[in-house]
Structure 1
Amino acid sequence: MADLIVTDADRRDDACLQDFTLDLAWGSGDNGENDFELTAARLIPAGALVYMDGGECGGVVDAMRDQLDASGSTLTYTGRTWHGILAGKVLQPDKGKDYLTVSGAAGTVIASLLSRIGLTPFFQANQPAGVNPTVNAFQFDRYIDAYTGLTAMCKANGLKLRLAYRSGHVDVWAEPAAHYGDTIDSDILDFDATRTWRRVNHLIGMGKGDLAARIITHWYADEKGNVSQTQSMTGIDEITETYDYNNLELAELNEKTRQKLLDEQSQGDVSATVRDGAGILLDVGDTLSARDNITGITVDATVVKKIVKVTGDVTSVDYEAE
């Protein structure tokens, strides 16, 4: 792991820390903070940068906590990672437009978006030599934060968003997402999967009206989870529930009942964990596979959060996948 550099308030390199604890997280999983916590026996001013040159670890100091007791003071600094800085900006549609839409070479698209949110020249689009994939027409959700929007744009095009601090600025680029599982000797993904064969397959929607005058609609799912108003599963295979929506007319009740039954057709639940000691470094957006040969269940999971902890010369990296 590279040295941790700290700047002064004007963001000029000021010190190289040796004794520190740094905890960073970025991504969009559960509690995807996009922030960092640094404990160091040094006074660091507000707005200073902490970074490891050439890598993804770093950010801007936003707050300090001073804990004083009989043994002395402990200074803990918190702030936004580079990803958190992006998350603190919002991609807005142009005036008079419903949505912001982009397309073209990834480097050009990223450059225009960084300029739009006012982060240039500190953030710069810088595609690696020979890597400049195409972003097909992509429509952002309205008023989405820039980090979520950029990662969604990349995902829709089979890419992953990369950031690295290099010589005074943050490089931003997109590259093809990697897939692990089939190309290495041992699986690096543990999973806990529940497969459900019988789910609700008959949903009775109840809309406006009272008693015999109440609007009623029936929707059915077949063995494969297809939903229609034709019943195919009866007897002990039929599982029926009601859906009470007493302010709906028939047309809207039909649509909502149909969608509700579709939502019930999930084949089960799955959670996935990247195994400790996997021996490879993953990025948010990479995918992994694992298969249980007994049941035939195969799980593909995407890395949605990366957690890096550094204490002196010891570094650990953990991932959340979904």
Structure 2
Amino acid sequence: MTIGILTAIAAGIMLGLYALPEKYAKDFEFENTWGMMFFINMLIVPVIACLLLVDDFGGILGSLSTEIYLKMGVAALAWGVGVMLWGKAINYIGLSLGFSIFIGTVILVGSLLPFMVDELPASNVLFTILGGLLIVLLGIVANGKAGMVRQEDEQNSDTDTTTQGSMGTGIGIAVGGGLLATGFSYANAAGRPAIHEAAQAAGNPEWVTAVIVMFVIYVAGALFVMPYFYYQLTKKSLWSKFKTPALGRNLMLTSAMGILNFAASVTFAYAAYQLGKAGNTVGYAIFNTVCVAVAILTGLFTGEWAKASGKAKTLLYVGLAAMVVGVLVIAAGNGMAS
């Protein structure tokens, strides 16, 4: 269990840092930066990882049933839409708040989805986990309020409806994206057992299962994300933006984003396996809460809350603390099941 928790924490740190390089891209619009990132993240990195790390990769994929692919594919498509919305939310409301609202929603819903695949734990374990998720929900509410207070601090005495709309829209996008992105948790729970069996039969180490699971999820997610960005780049005539002298710099930044994101997901999948029966629920909560903590600290260090009042920052810290406490309660529930 200790290895699983430490691995989930490492995964959360990577995910919390993955969007940071986006702040330093030059001459790109949202569609250029995130379109390039997702192309690298969903198609290039997973393919290279599987070809380098997986023995009999083609045979393993061929052994999976149509039912497994359908379950994982539909859930992964929803996840793809969700992570695309996440990128938009970060552009609207910043790293710290974008991560807090999005990931908080993911924790709340995504931690419950594996129960649709796996059997329910004992009642005392289930209620402990649900209690932890309720505390996480309180943290989400506090973070949302922090964003609204920050908006009030930053706007002039005259009401700025554009700023209000931007903050409200960003929070709405983050919540909607978080709901859809919970498909990641379901896809992992639905596909991992069969993929693990096939990977082990091919003589792969246990951790390789996580690489294959993420390959299926990421490639399926790309079926929506890539056409979307192609359409947006064409509609807004943004292809010419790739001709900037900063292309090499931006390519390195988006590659770092893509690698960190994929590595975080693979590490989480392995953590969920190490955590045992309730690993998808507990590992998911730990993984995402650490991610939020790292993103909030990153947002503070990069000046996102420089103009925010003490009240706004206090609400942000209270929200983060509630999410951490909630995850500790969830972890305690998992310990009761062990």
Pairwise TM-score range, normalised by the shorter structure = under 0.3
Q: Using structure 1 for the length normalisation, give the TM-score.
A: 0.21
- Relative to its length, the structure with more strand (as a share) is 1
**Greater RCO structure (CA 8 Å; 6+ sep):** 2
Please tell me whether Structure 1 or Structure 2 has the larger radius of gyration of its CA atoms: 1
Higher helix share: 2
